[in-house]
Amino acid sequence: MIKFDSVKPSQDTSGYARVSYGTKGTANAEAALGGSLGGHWSGRVSALAQHRDGWIDNAYTGEKDALGGYNDRAIRLQAMYDNDGFNALLNAHARWLDGSAMVNRANAIPLGSDSFAPGFQRDTVYQDGRNRQHLFSWGSNAHLTWNLGDYTFTSITGFEKADTYSLGDVDGGIAIPHNPGQDKYVTPFPSETADALPHDNQITQEFRLASNPQDQLNWQVGTYYFYEDIAIANYDYATLNNHAMDGYAVQSQTTRAWAGFGSVDYRLTDSFDVRAGARYSHDSRDFHVDRILSPIGGGPLSLSANPHDARWSGDLTGTWTLNPNVNVYGRIANGFRAPSVQGRVLFADFISQAKPETITSYELGVKTTGMDNRLRFNADVYNYIMHNEQLTAVGGDINVTRLINAKKTEGYGAEFDLEAYLTPNFILTAGGSYNHTELKDPNLAVAVCGSGCTVLDPLNAQGNALVDGNPLPNAPKWIGNLTARYGIPYGESGEFFFYTDWSYRSEVNFFLYQSEEFRGKPMLEGGVRVGYNWDFGKREIALYGRNITNKQYITGAIDFNNRTAFVNDPRILGVEFRADF
């Protein structure tokens, strides 16, 4: 588990500012400032603004730089009160995003191949549908802590609200070519749809009582509550009828979940520590969908579902300290996911439900340090078994996402991470993993591509693919990352530096079924940063590059209309300045 904590307010005045500008009009500006507000109060404000120009031409409409751009802004306000064993951290935040939705590329994948079609250009599309995306979200939370001597009582209250709208040319192509040169972008039929969240309101509350750190026994107990009221609107537009709306459905779902939990950590000996935890969870949903207008003549429709479930889950961990530099641990855990509902009924007359999912996992690992703490190496092996895993069968024969359960899923693997200060000026980090996933359900069958593809799985009598033995979608067997930083001291407080980072993943399958076309080749992307910092690192200017090799990769696909592809971002080069104070 990785936990990220924002910088909290303090009585000391501190902050930073960072600005950057790069190719494609890629701009970033962020800043934060915090300090005392008087008495026992302190505060901090943080703000972020990101921008990219449109960089994808729509050659069909003749519009230059029509797609790919965005404006993303966010702000966070924090206030902290700390006095005599009581601490209150208050947070309010908001985000605004306007820009392009996912840009689909029609007929980008040729039959029988997982490469790009001849003549593919990442910065050009031919589309007759519209594309735009909007998001506004805001929320607040209050983290209150009372130190009661031997115990600490904590209350965490949160509220989040969001509304979104995302419209895209799903088929990614055109219906009527202007000239024969555009024939290769023609799709079987136009598909222009949008999804919106008119509202999404969430309320959470957690109470926790924990012992303050003791040498031998530590424990905590608590309760948790979650409430969500969400509305989803689905739209379809007639591209060839001046984009008039010809499909409309409204979904609503209310979720109520609560849990009670507890854990205990006991040091049996100076070298052996055991931790055990348990949680009882209850989850219920009230789902309803109304189809008001059908784009395919299906007529009005009203459907409901009320899935609910309650389960125990828990974990047991033992940690052995072999010596001050080596810890070995073993962990057994089980968990579950509550039942789910999917109700996209614009193109279907049914909703789909998935039964509760359970998982049991086993992990054995080692954590080490060496070279006078200049070397850190961690590694583990793991195995898990899932029953009734909830999966989404996307597309296939129709433009519908369906929920299904796989009877059994098995996974196992190994991973490591390394951090080494090879010299005072040279830092190297590396990480990698091997991950095997396999569906085990002889009767599980899913619809295959409606766009034409080379299916590699056996088919049942209905023409659906039997996916027993397949890996999970978008689950690479191999993952790796590497970073290296080399600094050259200059003057009393300055340094020239070079930094590079690289990430790799092996081949992935995009869907539950396997085909020659719908899979992603092994992917390697790298970045570089070269610059100078001074005033003991408080000031820095640097040149940077992302995807510096400018490689093109297929990162996803749509299979119901044509062999549509998603692609990665192009190379971005820029300059950045940062100042801490």
Confidence of residue 394 (pLDDT cuts 50, 70, 90): confident
The tokens of 249 are what?
Answer: 């459905």
pLDDT > 60? residue 133: yes
3-class state of residue 25 by DSSP: helix
CA distances from 76 to 3, 36, 47, 138 (A): 19, 17, 6, 10
Can you give the pLDDT at residue 517? 97
CB 449 within 8 A of CB 465: no
Domains and CATH numbers, the chain: 14-153 (no CATH), 355-581 (2.40.170.20)
Can you give the pLDDT at residue 400? 76
DSSP sequence for 319-350 = EEEEETTEEEEEEEEEEEE--EEE---SS-S-
The tokens of 544 are what?
Answer: 């940077």
Q: What is the pLDDT of residues 319-373, one digit of tens each?
A: 999 999 999 999 999 999 999 999 989 999 999 999 999 999 999 999 999 999 9
What average pLDDT does range 80-105 have in this prediction?
A: 97
What average pLDDT does range 165-179 have in this prediction?
A: 97
What average pLDDT does range 188-212 have in this prediction?
A: 97
CB under 8 Å to 416, separation ≥6 — which residues? 377, 378, 379, 380, 430, 431, 432, 433
pLDDT > 90? residue 3: no
pLDDT > 70? residue 1: no
CA distance 433 to 504: 11
CA distance 196 to 249: 11
Confidence of residue 59 (pLDDT cuts 50, 70, 90): very high
- CB neighbour class for 571 (10 Å; exposed up to 12, middle 13-18, buried from 19): middle
HEC letters along 183-200: HHHECCCCCEEEEEEEEE
CB under 8 Å to 329, separation ≥6 — which residues? 317, 318, 319, 320, 363, 364, 365, 366, 367
What average pLDDT does range 229-246 have in this prediction?
A: 97
Q: What is the pLDDT of residues 113-128, one digit of tens each?
A: 999 999 999 999 999 9
CA distance 158 to 224: 11
CB 146 within 8 A of CB 152: yes
What average pLDDT does range 70-82 have in this prediction?
A: 98
Q: What is the pLDDT of residues 463-521, one digit of tens each?
A: 999 999 999 999 999 999 999 999 999 999 999 999 999 999 999 999 999 999 999 99
Q: Can you give the pTM of this predicted structure?
A: 0.92
Q: What is the pLDDT of residues 395-422, one digit of tens each?
A: 776 677 889 999 999 999 999 999 999 9
Can you give the pLDDT at residue 573? 98
